[in-house]
Structures are given as C-alpha cells and as structure tokens.
Amino acid sequence: MSDTSTKQRTQTKLKTARPKLHKVILINDDYTPREFVVKVLESVFRLGEPQAESIMMTAHQKGAAVIAVYTKEIAETKAEEAIELSQQFGFPLMVTTEPEE
C-alpha cells in the first residue's frame, strides 16, 4: 500500500461587485434652443434624433429628464462634456448626475 494522504483543498471564489450606476440628467432651461439640446444629445450621448428629441421634450415639459445611465466616471465625463460644449456656444445648458437607486 502507498503512503499517500488525501487533503481536502478549498478554493475561494472572489465575486467582483458590479459598479454602481449613475443617471445623467438633463435640466430644462428657458435659454438653450431645443435644436441645440438635440444636437448635444446626439453628439455627446450618441443618441438618434427621435430619441434625443423625446428626451429634450420630456425635460422641457417636466423640468428634467434622464438621458442615460452609466458607471459614475463615464456619467460624470459625459455630463462635463455636454456642459463644456454648451458653454462654448454661450448656452447655460445644465446636465447633472446622481446615483441610480
């Protein structure tokens, strides 16, 4: 008979947590032209024209609208990019982020 011993091995599986998501929110204002808002949504958030118009109208009617949901870093970057673009053209477009519930 051989002198082999059996040892039980345990493996630890690490679960990576999903990153928390953040909403990018368009805030309505009375100064930024609707057409410009649509162009910003199309260029920064890569939305099609019908979807961009729908989001713009929701913000216009309700005061705010969720544009998209991303990880925190991407959401903040997209919001900053939209704000910078509007400032370049002299508009006070406001885009903010908040954690998704």
- Give the model's pLDDT for residue 34: 95
Cα separation, 39 vs 49, whole angstroms: 8
- Give the model's pLDDT for residue 1: 56
DSSP state of 7: -
Residue 6 included in any domain: no
Residue 87 included in any domain: yes
What's the domain range around 54?
19-99
Residue 14: pLDDT band with limits 50, 70, 90: confident
- pLDDT (tens digit per residue) in 26-76: 999 999 999 999 999 999 999 999 999 999 999 999 999 999 999 999 999
Residue 11 included in any domain: no
Does pTM top 0.85 for this prediction?
no
- Give the model's pLDDT for residue 5: 67
Whichever domain contains 42, its CATH number is 3.30.1390.10
